[in-house]
């Protein structure tokens, strides 16, 4: 069986390599509806399953991994910014707060016709304490090359990591793929029982 990552994210592809299994990656093209569910854990699972299912029909006899990551701050869901000004606004809103990073994961198995015959859906959540940032620090993060492509406008890697004072939970979840959770789910979906 082929292993497919329903994402072209460089960070997710790097994390998938930690599984030690050959895989292909394919952009899902799935349109994310951030308002589909109020409960963050449920939304994360819904979006991840949507991504995996969107790709499943293209890959018969395969196992597809879909994932979706977003942030909440004071209970408000934060996605990707639409502009540098929006990135500044989002980063300012997180300054001095504890944010939660949710990643939904879906693993689906297809048969020879590309129909889903087995699936598992779960999520991980990690808490990050963000330091109180200066105007210059906010501006620096808003102008990072990936700012408009990442939930919350900054990543834990590079300059963004300098703004985090405490982490509770899975570090890989913050990057975009909780590897240990994915391993457990792959085992569940590929087992014969």
139 noted as active-site residue? no
Whole-angstrom distance, CA of residue 53 vs CA of residue 114: 10
3-state secondary structure of 116: strand
Active-site residue, selected from the candidate residues 68, 122, 139, 146: 68
The 3-state DSSP class for residue 157 equals coil
Total Cβ atoms within 10 A of residue 2: 13
Provide the pairing of β-strand 76-78 with 98-110: unpaired
Residues 6+ apart with CB under 8 A from 89: 81
- The first and second tokens of residue 159, run together, are 């300059």
Active site members:
68
């Amino acid at each position: 069986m082929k292993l497919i990552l329903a994402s072209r994210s460089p960070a997710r592809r790097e994390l998938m390599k930690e599984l030690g299994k050959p895989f292909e990656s394919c952009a899902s093209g799935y349109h994310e509806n951030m308002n589909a569910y109020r409960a963050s854990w449920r939304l994360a699972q819904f979006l991840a399953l949507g991504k995996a299912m969107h790709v499943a029909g293209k890959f018969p006899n395969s196992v597809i991994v879909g994932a979706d990551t977003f942030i909440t701050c004071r209970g408000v869901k934060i996605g990707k910014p639409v502009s540098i000004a929006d990135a500044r606004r989002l980063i300012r809103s997180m300054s001095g707060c504890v944010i939660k990073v949710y990643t939904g994961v879906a693993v689906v198995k297809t048969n020879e016709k590309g129909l889903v015959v087995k699936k598992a859906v779960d999520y991980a959540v990690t808490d990050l304490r963000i330091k109180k940032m200066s105007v210059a620090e906010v501006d620096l993060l808003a102008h990072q090359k990936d700012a408009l492509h990442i939930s919350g406008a900054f990543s834990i890697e590079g300059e963004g990591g300098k703004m985090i004072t405490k982490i509770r939970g899975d570090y890989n979840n913050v990057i975009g793929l909780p590897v240990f959770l994915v391993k457990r789910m792959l085992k569940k979906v590929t087992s014969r029982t």
